[in-house]
Structure 1
């Protein structure tokens, strides 16, 4: 089975990673711990936004 990749460019988030993370947590709270198909799509979008909003590089301690 082949999966197609989206060619749509998503805009970079204007929100901080913390703000997006809070929205992810709220989604899980609203769902009661089980995401519907529509909620899974929202979760995936939020995770991508969260990753884009995070720091670009992490320095080793």
Structure 2
């Protein structure tokens, strides 16, 4: 049975995800495989936060 948006766990804030992405990029963290994987994880978190902000605004 699908979970409704109200039942989904709250994602981190957009600014928190964005701050972590910027820190990773400024530290040159994309050089390693682990850094690239972390970047992809952060992008997923960022996108979820964006969707959450849009849903709240609506």
Normalising by structure 1, we get a TM-score of 0.61
Provide, for residues 27-47 of structure 1, a one-character-per-residue CA deviation record: whole Å limited to 9, x for no partner: 011117x43111000000000
Structure 1 residue runs of 4 or more that deviate by more than 4 Å after TM superposition: none
Gaps of 5+ in 2: 1-8
CA RMSD of aligned residues (A): 2.4
Gaps of 5+ in 1: 1-10
Match of 1:45 among 41, 44, 57: 41
Q: Is the 8 A contact 1:27 1:43 kept in 2?
A: yes
